[in-house]
Amino acid sequence: MPVEKIKSAIRDIPDFPKKGIIFKDITPVLQDSLLFKSSVDELSKRVTDLNPDFICGIESRGFIFGSAIAYKLGIGFVPVRKPGKLPYEKHSVKYDLEYGSNILEIHKDSFFKNAKVVIIDDLLATGGTAKASAELVEKCGAKVLKFLFLVELLFLNGRDVLKNYSTESIISF
């Protein structure tokens, strides 16, 4: 299935989560089994040759794609969570995003030393969340092979924040 079909299913939600933001809603892609499968297949083929040890998914929509890709590749999945969600010893990073700031956390024992990790999320905007996730992976002693996104908002220049990493998206607006 062509990427254009996936792109055309993504809808704009104005003024969410706050006035002036146009939210790119991927829910229609998830609801359609063929579009969801095509999205997972397309994302998976972009990392298979890297032979990662883990897929790391960013809360929350990164969990959806990341866990499916990890399953497809037969490797482990590690979540990066918002504060207060992880029960074990964790690393934390505070970061800025397009409409505020937040904190992300990861379990300290998420990876073995020098593990090869691909970080996945649904959307690249300003890059703050992704960069914080890379910091967490690196605090655990692992290496970020690549960032992979379903959607990228080019006008927000998130790649500039991730310039030291390989970054790819399959759909751009």
The type of residue at 86 is L
- Residue 111 in tokens: 């990876």
Distance of CA 134 to the CA centre of its chain: 11
Burial group, residue 19, by CB count within 10 angstroms (0-12, 13-18, 19+): exposed
Residues 173, 171: Cα–Cα separation, whole Å: 7
Which residue has tokens 């030393």?
113
Residue 106 Cα distances to 10, 72, 131, angstroms:
29, 23, 14
Looking at residue 109, its amino acid is D
Of 61, 81, 105, 152, which is the active-site residue? 61
The torsion angle over the Cα atoms of residues 54, 55, 59 and 60, rounded to 10 degrees, is -140
Asked whether the beta carbons of 137 and 111 are under 8 A apart, the reply is yes
61 annotated active-site: yes
Catalytic residue among 42, 59, 98, 135: 98
Residue 42 a catalytic site member: no
Report the catalytic residues: 61, 98
